[in-house]
Amino acid sequence: MRDIVAALFEIPEDAPHLEQALTHPSFTNEVRHAPDNQRLEFLGDSVLGLCTSQLLFERYPLADEGTLTRLRAQIVNTERLAEWGRSQGVAEAIRLGRGALSSGLRESNNVVADAVEACIAAAYLDGGLPTARAACARIVGPMLDQLDQSGTLDPKSDLQEFAQARGLGLPTYEVCDSGGPAHDRWFEVKVGIAGRWLAQGRGRSKRLAERAAAEELLRRRTDLFGNDAPVSNAPARDDARASGGERDTLVCIVPEDGTLSVDARRRTNASDALAEVGATADPSRGSSELALDDGKENGP
């Protein structure tokens, strides 16, 4: 697998720092002469930050400092680096100790993301800055394309802006379930607005689960808050259940017509409109099903 990683980062398979970049500390604990990748990860993190900053600076010439900083944080984070590393075969090339291997540590987001950053450092040290810059462009390029198409990679921010613009206050998130072994945990999070739980999402981390829940609610916001709601800027995804291969769905149930549709334009306060139909999430019905409020306190 090391040859695949070498080709991916455009450095020779026998490059001086490549083997070290793929060596987890657990391997070093068992094979003392093998240096681990932690120092390289430290360097690679800075190189990735520099190259990503330059790419954003050049791609968005009218964006201010705050916007560029926010975009960089959306692109350069553990979850996205780990996702990329798995998709490109980096995870399979990591050298792990026997104990770490048997416990499934290869699936850890931190382990894979550290290896990706260490490989960036190897590309920088063994191939120079142009090689490292090209590697970083391949990593963040698809995310930048997604930004161009959707305007965001952060559905939580979109949902917050949407709610505040309509006087609904800040969205509330709460973990409602979790499970899986230590190396492959999953979390289920529900999101609420205006005192009502409205959607749920699942992911390999709390952060990803919150994003999935926010995406689901954004997809349904016209049904919930009226036709004046603009089309969601959140990227459409089919992997809200990232760990199980399923996507959470939202089912709206109201007597008579079987749908929940609140036209916020006809009411002075959108939260009153939502409360009028008494929407609240009922976890006993399924992952993201809505039922009428039965008088019990179910809000966030």
* C-alpha 97: how far from chain center: 28
Catalytic site residue 126?
Answer: no
Q: In the predicted model, what is the mean pLDDT of the chain?
A: 77
Domains of the chain by residue range: 2-149, 155-292
What is residue 168's predicted lDDT score, i.e. its pLDDT? 86
Task: Identify the band that residue 2 occupies on the pLDDT scale cut at 50, 70 and 90.
Answer: confident
Amino acid identity at 77: N
Task: Identify the band that residue 167 occupies on the pLDDT scale cut at 50, 70 and 90.
Answer: confident
What is residue 178's predicted lDDT score, i.e. its pLDDT? 92
What is residue 153's predicted lDDT score, i.e. its pLDDT? 60
To the question of pTM greater than 0.75 for the whole model, the response is no
**Among 160-164, 186-190, 235-239, which stretch is predicted with the lowest mean pLDDT?**
235-239
The residue ranking higher by pLDDT, 10 or 223, is: 10
**Among 44-53, 202-211, 245-254, which stretch is predicted with the lowest mean pLDDT?**
245-254
Residue of 36, 41, 45, 188 marked active site: 45
Q: In what helix (H) or strand (E) does residue 198 lie, and over which residues does it extend? A: strand 196-203
Q: What is the pLDDT of residues 6-36, one digit of tens each?
A: 999 999 999 999 999 999 999 999 988 889 9
Q: What gap in Å lies between CA 8 and CA 135, rounded to an integer?
A: 8
Q: What is the pLDDT of residues 63-81, one digit of tens each?
A: 889 888 888 888 888 988 9
What is residue 88's predicted lDDT score, i.e. its pLDDT? 94
Q: Which span out of 116-130, 183-197, 254-268 was modeled with the highest average pLDDT?
A: 116-130
Tell the burial category of 73 from Cβ atoms under 10 Å away from its Cβ (0-12, 13-18, 19+): exposed
Q: Is the pLDDT reported for residue 219 higher than 90?
A: no
Q: Is the pLDDT reported for residue 213 higher than 50?
A: yes
Q: Give domain 2-149's CATH number out of 1.10.10.60, 1.10.630.10, 1.20.1250.20, 1.10.1520.10.
A: 1.10.1520.10
Task: Identify the band that residue 271 occupies on the pLDDT scale cut at 50, 70 and 90.
Answer: very low
Q: 155-292, which class in CATH?
A: alpha beta
Catalytic site residue 256?
Answer: no
Task: Identify the band that residue 41 occupies on the pLDDT scale cut at 50, 70 and 90.
Answer: very high
Between the alpha carbon of residue 92 and those of residues 111, 112, 190, 255, the distances in Å are: 11, 9, 33, 52
For the segment 203-209, the average pLDDT, to the nearest whole number, is: 85
**Among 126-130, 163-167, 275-279, which stretch is predicted with the lowest mean pLDDT?**
275-279
- Evaluate whether 200 touches 287 at the Cβ level (below 8 Å): yes
For the segment 126-149, the average pLDDT, to the nearest whole number, is: 89
Residues 187, 168, 148, 114, CA torsion sign:
negative
Q: Give me the percent of the chain exceeding a pLDDT of 70.
A: 73
Q: Is the pLDDT reported for residue 42 higher than 70?
A: yes
* Continuous H helices in 94-249: 98-102, 109-127, 129-150, 155-165, 206-219, 221-225
Residue of 36, 83, 114, 117 marked active site: 117
Phi, psi values for residue 290, rounded to 5°? -110, 145
CB count within 10 Å of CB 14 equals 10
Task: Identify the band that residue 242 occupies on the pLDDT scale cut at 50, 70 and 90.
Answer: very low
